[in-house]
Amino acid sequence: MKANRKRIVEYLQNTSITHSSVDKIAKSLGIEEYTARDILLDLAREGNLRGILVFPDHYYDFRYCHDVIDSLQKRQSSDQIPLDLLAKEFDTTKHNAQKILIELTTNNWIHGHLDSVKETFDLYKDELKAKELKCPYCNAALPSAATIPSCPECGAEFKKCGVCNLIIGQGEFSSCPYCGASSHTDHLLEWLKIKGKCPVCKHKLKPHQIP
């Protein structure tokens, strides 16, 4: 595991990519996909990697999300942007472009409506903005990477989501009954539907077992 971890770190440091799927990274290094995914999760939890998991199977770097936001901000029109056009602009597949837009709109990084039938995205230009990270206890602004263990203003210690590695607000989490690790409730339930085990301790776990 240590050898594979070192290879992944070197791969990410020596490549110019700003986004990649887990299977692509695994294939490039000749390792198992689940091994690459676990290592990326560990690196993100430790604060050594700025990234999010989009529908647990895909990894994208935060810088890439901001590139997408910047690209949308430059648009003159907000009328039904074709997904294939956005995919070409984002240098990814149409399927992945759709997932990225869902992730960004769900988390209020951007505002708009994705029409899966027409395969278009309506951008609400007037409301477009990058998400600001704030302390869930005192509402103080936080560094964009959000890797600090506690709030510099009120001193509150943060809980980090075991799936996305972002700060968890008050009352927004559920915990693994085996290791006690906390995650955003919706992220954990989605993860368990696909993986069937805790993202931290790897113990077998079903959604109905979450208190």
What pLDDT is stored for residue 66 in this prediction? Answer: 63
Identify which of 5-9, 125-129, 135-139 has the greatest average pLDDT.
5-9
Average pLDDT, the chain: 75
- Write down the pLDDT at residue 128: 47
**Mean pLDDT of the 70-75 span:** 74
- What is the pLDDT, as a whole number, of residue 96? 75
Higher pLDDT residue, 63 or 124?
Answer: 124
The pLDDT value given to residue 205: 92
Distances (CA, A) of 160 to 37, 137, 145, 165, 175: 18, 14, 12, 5, 11
On the question of pLDDT at 157 being above 60, the answer is yes
Q: How far apart are CA 200 and CA 122, in angstroms?
A: 37
Distance CA 121, CA 68 (A): 13
Which of 52-66, 79-93, 132-146, 174-188 reaches the highest mean pLDDT?
174-188
Whether the pLDDT of residue 89 is over 70: the answer is yes
Provide the pLDDT for residue 177.
92
